[in-house]
Amino acid sequence: KTIRIETTNHAYPVLIGSKIINQLPKLLIQTGISQKTKILIISDENVAPLYLQVVVDQLNKFDAISYVVPAGDVSKAIGEVEKIITYAIQHGLDRSSVILALGGGVIGDLAGFVASIYMRGIRYVQCPTTILAHDSSVGGKVGINHALGKNLIGSFYQPQFVLYDTSFLTTLPTREVRSGLVEVLKHGLIADRQFVDWLEKNADSLLHLDQEAVSYALKQGIKIKADIVMEDEKEQGIRAILNFGHTLGHVIETLSNYQYLHGEAVAIGMFFAAKLAAKLGWLSKEEEAFYQHLLQKFKCKTSIPKEYDTNQMMNIMLRDKKFKNGQIRMVLPIAIGQVKIEQNIDPKFIFETLNELK
Ligand code: ADP
Ligand code: ZN
């Protein structure tokens, strides 16, 4: 189960499967990372107690050290970057060293960013431990937050490989499982009707982290994302469809002060897009109903909290950095498994749809 991701100057494999962490030494060697190489494992306070030792045991023939940061977005900060770099210098990491990201999206973004700037860039590899991280493990976006906004500091930087051991996912909190699966659903809904039907049939197995089902879902999700990213590495055009559900999703994350998990907010955003598309006559009522059914099967909410002010939501959407000169650019479905980017939507319809979702 290997997927190969190709970018302009770098290709790398993504391996997915249950209990495949024992392939780590072999993969390192195959990638040209010898046993003399110093490897800095970066993980967080939730993941480290569960899996750091497992990984360190695999690296017993390598020169591995580790650094553990607090869990959550707070660690995507310049202060944390500096601490890791200090640790790396003090422990003798040089240009030939390697960083291994062991954790969810936060760790992937942070560790990848450190790798991209340490001594003008050193190699890094990823062992994702969340479902959501299937999304950030492809595309090469690494980075951290600034006090004035999320993900404002970063680079495009590709890993040497991604090793996804799905047995690591079994300790995820239920909400994190659901939230991560929403991003898988998104990949289906933008590009692959057959995959959406498969997801609908396998919702329960996926929610219960059936290893076979999860491996397949991650593989498909990554393939879809990789195809889109390979076509449009620097986000000029088609890649924008990956923002499906994210415009309103970000609004909900912001207004809830991040009480909603990313996928929980994106689920509402995708249903909003379906409802708006139905209002515009691009999606049938049956297809809109299917969206609701699908999201409910994955135990997602599809309504906006009543107390959110519609005008305020509109204003936040207009400030979104992905909007072109004040125009509301949205990704809307035109069928199950197909979306299009629309620039000129009458704000009146957006306003109405937001109200109907409360
Ligand atoms: P993301 O959801 O973007 O991938 P995080 O890195 O923030 O990002 O992970 C979500 C939360 O789940 C964090 O609190 C993290 O410590 C925790 N976590 C990550 N992987 C696991 C795991 N395999 N088991 C238990 N908790 C995990
Ligand atoms: Zn997302």
What b/e readout covers 25-59, taking b as 16+ CB neighbours within 10 angstroms?
Answer: bebbeebebeeebbbbbbbbebbbeebbebbbebb
Residue 81 CA to ligand 1 center (angstroms) comes to: 19
- pLDDT, position 15: 95
Residue 103 CA to ligand 1 center (angstroms) comes to: 6
- Of 115, 40, 45, nearest to 74 by C-alpha is 45
CA distance 290 to 103: 34
The secondary structure element, H or E, covering residue 150 is: strand 149-156
For residue 311, give the amino acid letter. Answer: N
Residue 300 CA to ligand 2 center (angstroms) comes to: 15
Residue 141 is a catalytic residue? yes
- pLDDT, position 60: 95
Query: From the alpha carbon of 179, which atom of ligand 1 is closest?
Result: 2
Q: Name the active-site residue from 183, 253, 264, 288.
A: 183
Residue 10 is a catalytic residue? no
Residue 187 is a catalytic residue? no
Residue 145 is a catalytic residue? no
Strand partners, 6: 11
Q: Tens digit of pLDDT per residue, the chain (358 long)?
A: 678 887 666 889 999 999 999 999 999 999 999 999 999 999 999 999 999 999 999 999 999 999 999 999 999 999 999 999 999 999 999 999 999 999 999 999 999 999 999 999 999 999 999 999 999 999 899 999 999 889 999 999 999 999 999 999 999 999 999 999 999 999 999 999 999 999 999 999 999 999 999 999 999 999 999 999 888 766 667 889 999 999 999 999 999 999 999 999 999 999 999 999 999 999 999 999 999 999 999 999 999 999 999 999 998 888 765 655 666 789 999 999 999 998 888 889 999 999 999 9
Q: Whole-model pTM? A: 0.95
**Does any ligand 1 atom lie closer than 6 A to the CB of residue 71?**
yes
Burial class for 174, CB neighbours closer than 10 Å (0-12, 13-18, 19+): exposed
Q: Note whether 55 and 41 are within 8 A (CB).
A: yes
134 labeled binding residue: no
Q: Which whole-number Å values give the CA distances from 2 to 20, 215, 216, in the listed order?
A: 12, 11, 11
150 labeled binding residue: yes
**Does any ligand 1 atom lie closer than 6 A to the CB of residue 47?**
yes
- pLDDT, position 234: 64
